[in-house]
């Protein structure tokens, strides 16, 4: 991540504050009871629970342990998922909202129990607030508070909001928590290995076969297992169709050193533009963390200005000393407001998936691990039916399904018309990217700050949507289903399992206009 002249180190605080890991890559054939694909909070929690149940478990990840989504969250451990319970009561009934609440509270306390078992991860109890900026938002909070109370949660309206600016009150949940997600995940990994588990890093799964058992195919080997858990944010196996039922968006995060006291609570406002706020212990001090500026993947809003807006918010309300970190994050939101957790398809009995955490992955991912470990072990679970990945709720799903898939269709066909790529790649200035022509081929082209041209296929290897430039991160993003790639085509986010093929660039000198412009959206 580079993002021009925006302040702050372009790295997640959680990654900067923890050591790298050095587990081996998968080579050759391996056997185990359960293969887990993805070493984030969902995969590691499931792996640990299953290993403690007596199963032999292998975990694979395309990168280092807990370096993807888990390392880019704000790490709020809470059953307060913004404005959730009123919607679920409408789409799944009040009983459904109560089941959701019970499950998320149980997941929160499971994290607390695991952290308290010797994992030093800055776990601390905090109240969680959703605050209103105006009377209209206050009405939303009152409706949400009533729904949350009916679901059995400790929700109250509180006029005393721990922020340095005026609000119209807030909904408060007591006894919630926050922690350091990567310290926690590394602790899970240590305990998993102590329980006999195996971890393979830098290992990408490309396919899973299922018949009497399962075979996970990787570039350098395979794993034969009785069950497979796909814990990869969005399942890379298309046969479940989750890419059409959960929709990606990106958010931005900054941490700041401020001269004022930082809040001793977790806070988020009720309506866009979202500002999610918490304090973070860091090397003997406390930083302020703010997340917001959400947008769809592939949006022209993906510019360094997203960070600048967050920095402006901090400086308006706190005595800002310095911006320390900046990064962005991605997650998927489900059609009907409830994550998909369970079998890959109705016919699948051995492949288990979890997706659609809607930016509340700490408790949602932990609950997914609890549900999946129970399913593998053959235990009944009181929350499983609500979260079932194969559920069909046409009335609840239809509005979002139609709107989002219409947007995908417009991007799939419209981008080819509106952005045909007629410019010559040699016209790109330093730091600029666009859909262009290189040697008579339409490509995604980028000229880096040293003047070198990079060209890759403009079509996402998942389902063929035309990629779009992300100027905030200097990546190529798929606006349809959320895959992301480096300027040289390497995969940063799935569901794509193949990199963008590299394309030839002309052996021509760079343009004489060496203006040093920052990247532009195309």
Q: How many CB atoms lie within 10 A of CB 245?
A: 20
- % pLDDT > 70, the chain: 91
Question: pLDDT by residue (tens digit) across 254-285?
Answer: 999 999 999 999 999 999 999 999 999 999 99
- % pLDDT > 90, the chain: 77
Q: Which residues contact 298 (CB under 8 A, 6 or more apart)?
A: 411, 467, 468, 470, 477, 478, 479, 480
Residues 465 and 512 occupy one common structural domain: yes
Residues 348 and 435 occupy one common structural domain: no
Residue 215 lies in a domain: yes
In the block, tokens 């709107």 appear at 403
Confidence of residue 401 (pLDDT cuts 50, 70, 90): low
Residues 390 and 429 occupy one common structural domain: no
Residues 495 and 371 occupy one common structural domain: no
Q: Of 224-238, 352-366, 415-429, 507-521, where does mean pLDDT reach its minimum?
A: 507-521
User: Of 350, 368, 401, which residue sits at a domain end?
Assistant: 401
Q: How far apart are CA 206 and CA 200, in angstroms?
A: 15
Query: Mean pLDDT, the chain, as a whole number?
Result: 90
Confidence of residue 516 (pLDDT cuts 50, 70, 90): very low
Residue 302 lies in a domain: no
**162: helix, strand or coil:** coil
Residue 145 lies in a domain: no
Global confidence as pTM: 0.89
> Measured in Å, how far apart are the chain's first and last C-alpha atoms?
18
Q: How many separate domains does the chain show?
A: 2
**Across 108-136, average pLDDT:** 97
Tokens at residue 80, please?
A: 């307060």
Residues 438 and 518 occupy one common structural domain: yes
Nearest residue to 324 via CA among 4, 12, 73: 12
Question: pLDDT by residue (tens digit) across 428-466?
Answer: 999 999 999 988 889 999 999 999 999 999 999 988 889
Residue 454 lies in a domain: yes
At 484, which CATH number?
2.102.10.10
DSSP one-letter string for 75-143: -EE-S--SS-HHHHHHHHHHHHHHHHHHHHHHHHHHHHHHHTTT--S--EEEEEEEE-SSHHHHHHHHH
Residues 364 and 442 occupy one common structural domain: no
**Across 159-166, average pLDDT:** 97
At 372, which CATH number?
3.50.50.60
User: Of 350, 370, 401, which residue sits at a domain end?
Assistant: 401
Residues 423 and 397 occupy one common structural domain: no
Residues 360 and 218 occupy one common structural domain: yes
Residue 434 lies in a domain: yes
Q: How far apart are CA 10 and CA 425, in angstroms?
A: 28
Residues 486 and 439 occupy one common structural domain: yes
Residue 488 lies in a domain: yes
Residue 213 lies in a domain: yes
Residues 379 and 442 occupy one common structural domain: no
- Please answer whether residues 176 and 168 qualify as being in contact, where contact means their C-beta atoms are separated by less than 8 angstroms: no
Q: How many CB atoms lie within 10 A of CB 17?
A: 18
Residue 288 lies in a domain: no
Question: pLDDT by residue (tens digit) across 218-243?
Answer: 989 999 999 999 999 999 897 878 88
Domain that holds residue 233: 19-73+182-244+337-401
Residues 426 and 490 occupy one common structural domain: yes
Q: Which residues contact 286 (CB under 8 A, 6 or more apart)?
A: 262, 279, 280
Residues 382 and 443 occupy one common structural domain: no
Q: Which residues contact 208 (CB under 8 A, 6 or more apart)?
A: 37, 214, 215, 216, 217, 228, 230, 237, 351
Q: Which residues contact 62 (CB under 8 A, 6 or more apart)?
A: 202, 203, 204, 205, 491
Q: Of 40-54, 199-213, 360-374, 483-497, where does mean pLDDT reach its minimum?
A: 483-497
């Amino acid at each position: 991540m580079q993002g021009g002249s925006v302040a702050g180190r372009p790295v997640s605080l959680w990654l900067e504050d923890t050591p790298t890991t050095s587990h081996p890559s998968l080579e050759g054939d391996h056997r185990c009871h359960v293969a887990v694909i993805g070493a984030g909070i969902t995969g590691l929690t499931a792996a640990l629970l299953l290993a403690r149940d007596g199963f032999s478990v292998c975990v694979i990840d395309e990168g280092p342990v807990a370096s993807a989504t888990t390392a880019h969250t704000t790490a709020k451990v809470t059953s307060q998922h913004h404005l959730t319970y009123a919607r679920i009561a409408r789409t799944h009934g009040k009983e459904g909202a109560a089941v959701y609440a019970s499950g998320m509270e149980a997941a929160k306390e499971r994290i607390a129990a695991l952290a308290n078992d010797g994992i030093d991860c800055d776990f601390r109890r905090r109240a969680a607030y959703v605050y209103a900026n105006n009377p209209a938002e206050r009405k939303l909070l009152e409706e949400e508070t009533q729904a949350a109370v009916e679901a059995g949660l400790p929700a109250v309206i509180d006029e005393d909001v721990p922020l340095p600016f005026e609000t119209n009150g807030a909904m408060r949940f007591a006894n919630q928590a926050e922690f350091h997600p990567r310290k926690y995940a590394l602790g899970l990994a240590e305990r998993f290995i102590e329980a006999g588990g195996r971890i393979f890093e830098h290992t990408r799964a490309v396919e899973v076969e299922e018949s009497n058992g399962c075979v996970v195919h990787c570039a350098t080997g395979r794993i034969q297992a009785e069950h497979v858990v796909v814990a990869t944010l969005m399942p890379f196996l298309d046969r479940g169709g989750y890419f059409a039922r959960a929709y990606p968006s990106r958010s931005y995060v900054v941490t700041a050193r401020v001269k004022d006291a930082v809040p001793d609570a977790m806070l988020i406002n009720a309506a866009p533009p979202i500002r999610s706020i918490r304090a973070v212990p860091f090397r003997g001090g406390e930083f302020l963390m703010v997340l917001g500026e959400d947008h769809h993947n592939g949006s022209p809003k993906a510019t360094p200005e997203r960070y600048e807006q967050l920095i402006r918010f901090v400086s308006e309300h706190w005595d800002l000393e310095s911006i320390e970190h900046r990064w962005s994050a991605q997650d998927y939101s489900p059609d009907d407001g409830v994550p998909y957790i369970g079998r890959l398809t109705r016919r699948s009995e051995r492949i288990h998936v979890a997706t659609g955490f809607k930016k509340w992955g700490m408790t949602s991912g932990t609950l997914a691990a609890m549900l999946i470990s129970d399913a593998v072990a053959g235990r009944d679970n009181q929350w499983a039916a609500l979260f079932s990945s194969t559920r069909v709720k046409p009335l609840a799903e239809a509005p979002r399904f139609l709107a989002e898939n219409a947007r995908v269709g417009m991007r799939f066909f419209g981008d080819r018309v509106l952005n045909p790529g007629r410019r010559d790649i040699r016209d790109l200035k330093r730091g600029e990217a666009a859909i262009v022509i290189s040697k008579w081929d339409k490509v995604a082209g980028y000229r880096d700050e040293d003047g070198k041209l990079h060209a890759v296929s403009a079509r996402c290897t998942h389902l063929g949507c035309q990629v779009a430039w992300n100027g905030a991160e200097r990546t190529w993003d798929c606006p349809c289903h959320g895959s992301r790639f480096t300027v040289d085509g390497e995969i940063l986010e799935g569901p794509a399992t193949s990199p963008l093929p590299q394309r030839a660039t002309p052996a021509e000198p760079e343009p004489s206009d060496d203006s040093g412009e920052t990247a532009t959206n195309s």
